[in-house]
Amino acid sequence: MDLTWSFYYNKTIIKGPQTLVKEGHGKDRMVGRHGILLLILLAGCASQVKEERIEPLRQQVRGLQESQAGLEARVEELHNKLTFLEDRIEAHQEAIENLQRMALPTEPPQGLKEVRIEPGTEDPETLYKRGYNLYRAGNLTEAREVFQEFIRKFPHHPLGDNALYWIGETYYTERDYGKALEIFRQVARDYPQGNKVPDALLKVALTLREMGRVRESREVLKKLIEDYPSSEAALKGSSLLEER
């Protein structure tokens, strides 16, 4: 195999793996392969040492680049959060301004019924909630007493029809259909604008059916559907009418 490379070593031109020609003297010498291989090995070692010194620097540069990229991403994330918070604050400020414009007048509207709370008594909502919790727990007698106290103390409260309705439910659960029928009819009579009227009419129909008065029950259901067509009670009433 003929090698065509050459290089200088101590003023000597080296060509090929075998021949060495010294300048200026005209005298040839044979140089062994080991000398050349030694020179190549030294050159390789120098390159390796240089590479070993450079590699840690490269790693440091890569680390700095990655850190910079992470910081830029974090800054972008914080910027987005700040923008979001600014939008939220602006929306809340606008809502507060709207509420201020819609503030209630200092004087109550004419005709508004005033509910007075006697000192030392429960407020209406607390008393009503206590009665409802007793009913849910199955303490029907105690629940009925609390609801009766509520109506006695706060007869004009908006929850008055609800309290009366649940009194009727206590009797209905006890299968005292006569008293239940009376109370449910009273809800529709005493609180014609109350939200519990549709439910009370439905219960009137169910109570009548339990008492065997089916024709009267169907008439009440028809009135319920006619007067309160969009109520949930009317939907249930329609299903009951379809039953044979």
For 184-210, the pLDDT digits (tens) are 999 999 999 999 999 999 999 999 999
Give the CATH number of domain 124-242; options: 1.10.760.10, 1.25.40.10, 3.40.50.300, 2.40.50.140. Answer: 1.25.40.10
Proportion of the chain above pLDDT 70, given as a percent: 59
Quote the DSSP letter at residue 114: P
Using a cut of 0.75, tell me whether the model's pTM lies above it: no
Proportion of the chain above pLDDT 90, given as a percent: 46
* In the chain, where the domains are located: 124-242
pLDDT digit string (tens) for 112-160?
Answer: 344 454 544 678 999 999 999 999 999 999 999 999 999 999 988 999 9
pLDDT number for residue 168:
95
> β-strand 28-30 against 12-15: which pairing, if any?
unpaired
For residues 97-115, one letter each, b for 16 or more C-beta atoms within 10 angstroms of the residue's C-beta and e for the rest, the string is eeeeeeeeeeeeeeeeeee
3-state secondary structure of 224: helix
pLDDT digit string (tens) for 29-65?
Answer: 444 555 566 666 666 666 666 667 778 888 888 888 8
Pick from 202, 137, 198: nearest CA to 170? 137
